[in-house]
Amino acid sequence: MRHFITLADFEKAELESLLDMAERIKKGEVKPDLSGKNLILLFFNPSLRTRTSFELAMKQLGGNVVTLNAGGDTWKLEFKDGVVMDGDAAEHIKDAARVLGKYGDGIAVRAFPRGTNWEEERRDPVIKAFLDHAGVPIINMESSLYHPNQVLADIMTIREYYGKDLRGLPVTLSWAYHPNPLPMAVPDSFLLGACIFGMDVRFLRPEGYDLDPEIMERARKLARKAGGNLKITDDFKDGLSGSKVVYAKSWGSLKYYGDREAEREYRQRYRNWIIDREKMEMTDGAYFMHCLPVRRNVVVTDEVIDSSRSIVYDEAENRLHAQKAVLSFIFSE
């Protein structure tokens, strides 16, 4: 039984096989048969692309899918072990996980961090509870640390424009201003994914916005293993010069984690961290990427995201095909 929690759990060759399958699915060369398989989608947070693409992927491959919104159309769940459940939560997550594991052949879970205690939330307690108790394959639809399905589609998109061998491809992962501190799952996963594939990664962020130290160290090791490179900088020219891809994303500062107002005040000094024409002109004709949703004229200007060098909708489309490949892999194990 294999789970799909982070790309870093897989060897590069395994991910290449998944991407090859996704591309064949997209071209109509192959259609996996998931008839008789039942997938449960459990959302603790909102979704547009992830929910739609997973539901359609499962249905188009002949399987069944049930979508639940935790705490909305399910009981409110308790996450901590050993707690006296005399509060709002009516059911413990270990009980919910065991029951859903009896109903479905696989469970996909989305659970963002709460933004209160990073040391607790970086352990991904919701995902871990399902791994420990469900007894079926678990797919991560975005957690505190990882968003593997998004980045699998991102890499699929990059391969469509630059070919299958991405070693040495200059790409920039750039922090961007946003009025609120956002989760780190997408930048974590893109950084790890780009390093797995040996890209020449420029991690461009202002002071105070490094990712979790363990993620950064893991990325360095993956880059060395793949013969790639990871450069960390806060200089626009240094981070953008020569890049072929600019991947923009905002995320919160670990320095102020749990103190939302202090973090909001701190980030005001970086309002100029917007991807605009001037910054894109520093690159080598780079394509612009973003996972969506995006705040236009805050994270990126209309001029950039609506230009011919923007491939954000290709990324979004490829979620469907990449996830079909993931589902085929998970249910064939």
Comparing C-alpha atoms, which of 100, 99, 92, 114 is closest to residue 44?
A: 114
Domain at 252, CATH number: 3.40.50.1370
Residue with tokens 């001029």: 303
For the packed helices 148-162 and 312-332, what is the interaxial angle rounded to 10 degrees?
A: 120
Query: 246 and 286 in one domain?
Result: yes
Query: 108 and 89 in one domain?
Result: yes
**Number of domains, the chain:** 2
Query: 276 and 232 in one domain?
Result: yes
Query: 302 and 167 in one domain?
Result: yes
Report, in this order, helix, strand and coil percent for the chain, each rounded to 5: 45, 15, 40
User: Residue 97 domain-assigned?
Assistant: yes
For the packed helices 312-332 and 49-60, what is the interaxial angle rounded to 10 degrees?
A: 50
Per residue in 90-138, pLDDT (tens digit) is 999 999 999 999 999 999 999 999 999 999 999 999 999 999 999 999 9
Q: Which residues of 36-70 are buried (b: 16+ CB within 10 A; e: fewer)?
A: ebbbbbbbbeebebbbebbeebbeebebebebbbb
pLDDT (0 to 100) of residue 74: 87
User: Residue 76 domain-assigned?
Assistant: yes
Query: 87 and 21 in one domain?
Result: yes
Q: Classify residue 261 as exposed, middle or buried by CB count within 10 Å of its CB (0-12, 13-18, 19+).
A: exposed
CB 330 within 8 A of CB 137: yes
User: Residue 2 domain-assigned?
Assistant: no
Query: 236 and 301 in one domain?
Result: yes
User: Residue 124 domain-assigned?
Assistant: yes
Query: 201 and 110 in one domain?
Result: no
How many degrees, rounded to 5, is the angle at CA 124 between CA 263 and CA 248? 50
Distance of alpha carbon 110 from alpha carbon 127, whole angstroms? 8
Per residue in 163-188, pLDDT (tens digit) is 999 999 999 999 999 999 999 999 99
User: Residue 1 domain-assigned?
Assistant: no
- Taking 50 as the pLDDT cut, the residues of the chain under it are none
Around Cβ 248, how many Cβ atoms within 10 Å?
A: 25
User: Residue 275 domain-assigned?
Assistant: yes
pLDDT (0 to 100) of residue 72: 85
Comparing C-alpha atoms, which of 172, 325, 323 is closest to residue 249?
A: 172
CB 188 within 8 A of CB 215: yes
Query: 282 and 160 in one domain?
Result: yes
Quote the distance between the C-alpha of residue 48 and its chain's center.
14
User: Domain limits at 97?
Assistant: 7-146+319-332
Query: 191 and 258 in one domain?
Result: yes
Query: 206 and 262 in one domain?
Result: yes
Query: 305 and 228 in one domain?
Result: yes
Query: 102 and 14 in one domain?
Result: yes
CB 91 within 8 A of CB 78: yes
User: Residue 269 domain-assigned?
Assistant: yes
3-class secondary-structure state, position 54 = helix
Strands 229-233 and 106-110: unpaired
Distance of alpha carbon 302 from alpha carbon 31, whole angstroms? 37
Q: Which residues contact 50 (CB under 8 A, 6 or more apart)?
A: 110, 141, 142, 149, 150, 319
103 Ramachandran zone, left/alpha/beta (phi>0; psi -120 to 50)? alpha
